[in-house]
Amino acid sequence: MKKIINNPGNFVEESIDGLVKSHPDIYAFAPDNKRVITRAKKSSNKVGIVSGGGSGHLPVFTGYVGEGLLDACAVGSVFASPSVDQISSAIRNANNGNGVLCVLGNYGGDVMNFEMACEIVASEGIKTKTVIVADDIASASNEEKSKRRGIAGMIFVFKVAGSIAETSVSLEETFNTASSANNNIRTLGVAVSPCILPEAGKPTFEISDDEIEIGMGIHGEPGIKREKLRKADPLIDDLCKRILDDFKLNDKDQVCIMINSLGATPLEELYIISKRVHENFSKLKIEITKTYVGRYATSMEMAGMSITILKLNDNLKKHLFAKSECPFWNS
């Protein structure tokens, strides 16, 4: 293992401490819990937006705290769910009296701990609703979408939910708009090489130098299939076909796309991928309104990438492109 770290046991605390010190105008520690990050300038008179999950995926989850995005985030250990206490603290710190929307990925531990935290804060008079992001088409069929994992698509949900919350609408309307975004997102990725967890000191999975795995999860969960590495264009054609087979679009639709590095894949490769995605959608006369290319949802130093498609309507477009303030997102 080669990592520029100190004690592996302090990895999470030191990384989020560095995040707060580097961006003190954006992030702050919650006064009651050092595993909860809040906005440096707390908002008022709005629905609070909260997320949380395991470390090792920056900018997800913590990096998306900021104006027009999340109000607070609970930080778990590497690839581990935040605790019920941490999530409860995040909800309390995000609450302005108008309720709190929780947006999280579809992972068993996260879902269970958020459910328990919401029950606890309900006894304190805090209203909550939850959107569970499930955009990974590799993890379940279209008929069982509720079983799909939440991956890079959750960033679009953070952005839409955060934007509409800034307009002082109700918790119910915030939930409905975030749910609309969630229902119109599909993601599919490819893993090229594994990552190494700081405390484990060994790869999360094994894969040959000439192999890739389509649909592998961000924690090394099994994908659709393992195959020999192909050239970029036929690989991207395959991924686009799988996404479009799952997500029926036509030439009247507008979409936003995200080409995301899982950690180690460089921008040059991401732009080769983006070029081919644009060519695929152009053939179908589907308009790509905006393209995001970069590291948005990672898995430590895993090499690989994901393609996320958000089908837009006027309301989603308005909130996706609304002003926000965060080091990791440009509207």
Residues belonging to the active site:
57, 219
DSSP 166-234: TTT--HHHHHHHHHHHHHTEEEEEEEEE--B-TTT-SBSS---TTEEEET--TTS---SEEEE---HHH
Peptide bond into 29 cis (omega under 30): no
Q: Sign (positive/negative) of CA torsion 142, 312, 57, 207? A: positive
Q: What is the largest CA-CA distance in the chain?
A: 56
Measured CA to CA, the distance from residue 5 to residue 61 in angstroms comes to: 21
Instruction: Give the whole-angstrom CA distance, residue 325 versus residue 15.
Output: 20
- Are the C-beta atoms of 211 and 24 separated by less than 8 Å? no
Pairing of strands 287-294, 254-261: parallel
312 class by beta-carbon count within 10 Å (0-12 exposed, 13-18 middle, 19+ buried): buried
Helix (H, G, I), strand (E, B) or coil at 104: strand
For the beta sheet containing 33-39, the strands, ordered from the edge strand earlier in sequence to the opposite edge, are 27-30, 33-39, 72-78, 48-55, 100-105, 128-133
| Dist CA 280 CA 236 (whole Å) | 9
